[in-house]
Each structure stands twice: as C-alpha cells, then as structure tokens.
Amino acid sequence: MRVNRILLSTALIVVALVLQVSVLARLHLPGAVPDLLLLTVVALALVYGHVGGALIGFGAGLLADLAPPADHAAGRYALVLCVVGYLVGLARPGNGRLKSVTGPMLVVIVAAVGSTLLYALVGALVGDTAARHVGLGGLLFSAALYDLLLAPFVVPAIMALARRAENDPLAESSTTVKGTDISSGWLSSGTGLRLGGRRGGVTRLKAKARTRTTRVTRIKGVKRL
C-alpha cells in the first residue's frame, strides 16, 4: 500500500474506533453495537480493492482486539475484519466509483450479518458463548439495522476521502498502468522515467546541434577552397 493510503486508513480507523468505544458503545442500544469500524473497512475496501481491504481489515480488527475494554481473545476480530475486507474488496467496481446506492447498502447488510456470524463462529471455536445469552438472531437483526442506518452518513464520506487521496500526483494511474505492481506504477507516473525521458531528449538536442555545427564548418571550408 502507498504511504497516502496507509496514513488515511490509519487516521480513519483510529477515529472510528474512538467514536465507537467512547460514544456508540455508551448508548446501550438493545442488541448489537453500531459497528463504525466495520463501515470504515467496508468503505475503504470498496475503493482500494480486496488486497487493501484485507490489510486494512486486519489492522483495524487487531487494534479493536487490543483496545480496552476488549473482553475477547486477541486476533478474533482481526480475523473477522480481514475476511470482510477481502470479500468486500472483490465487489469493488473497476474505477472505484459506485453508480447507485443499492450496491453499497447490500454490501453493508451482508457485511454486518456476515461479520456477526463469523465472530460468533470463531467465539464458539475458542469457547466464548456470550452470543448465546444475548441471542444470535437479535444480534444479527440489530447489527444489520444499526449499520444500515449509519452507513449513508459514513460510507460515502469515507469513499470520497479515499478517492481524493488517490489523486496524489505521485500515485500510479490504474487506468494507464495495468498488470504492474505499485512500485512500477509509481515509477511510471512519477519523476523517475520522466526525468530519464527529459535527459534523453536533451542529449538528442545536443547531438543535433553538434551535427549542424559540423555541417556549417564543412560548408565554410569548401567555400574557402
């Protein structure tokens, strides 16, 4: 991932986690807690694709696992958000821009339900039965409802910020450079190859100037003879 992506994703994840822990979790809503962190991962994955979504999801989940008042095994939510980020990134449009709101809303619902089911499944594997006391059906319904109500205010704004960050002059152009990695894309649109081209052009101009000077000298010599 490029530096601008890492910085933007880190800032958004930290802000989302702070708001979720300090504000949303204190509302004591029935059922699940609105997952602002999940919505942030979904929005970034829709712009950056499956690889970036998986990396961002893993980092966001690991941060949530370590941040207080986490009461589950470390790495549990990191696994969940990593899988969600990867799968959501597969639904990313080719140019990173969505033509309608239906697609993102469906993605949010599937991500909310899927993350809750996967979290409960991983919890069952490690012996955490907290979901049984609350009721898995109530968790699924409330998670999908809360995230769906919150998504129109979060997902478009984060996607707009991510797309604006992609307009960095040092960023590679995904439409002109295909089948190459990030480093080669950066070089193809950055200063390296352009400087090389300019140096080559200057060298050619100098060679042409020398050739013209040589021709003029020869012509003057012939006239004197």
Q: Which residue has the tokens 């980020």?
A: 85
Confidence of residue 123 (pLDDT cuts 50, 70, 90): confident
| Residue-level pLDDT at 190 | 39
pLDDT reading at 44 higher than 70: yes
| Residue-level pLDDT at 181 | 36
User: What is the CATH code for 3-165?
Assistant: 1.10.1760
Across 95-109, average pLDDT: 73
pLDDT reading at 131 higher than 80: no
Confidence of residue 158 (pLDDT cuts 50, 70, 90): very high
- Domain edges within the chain: 3-165, 190-224
User: Which residues have a Cβ under 8 Å from the Cβ of 222 and sit 6 or more positions away?
Assistant: none
Which letter does DSSP use for residue 93 in this model?
A: -
Across 162-182, average pLDDT: 52
Q: How far is CA 151 from the centre of its chain?
A: 17
Mean of per-residue pLDDT scores for the chain: 74
Q: Are 102 and 155 in contact (CB under 8 A)?
A: no
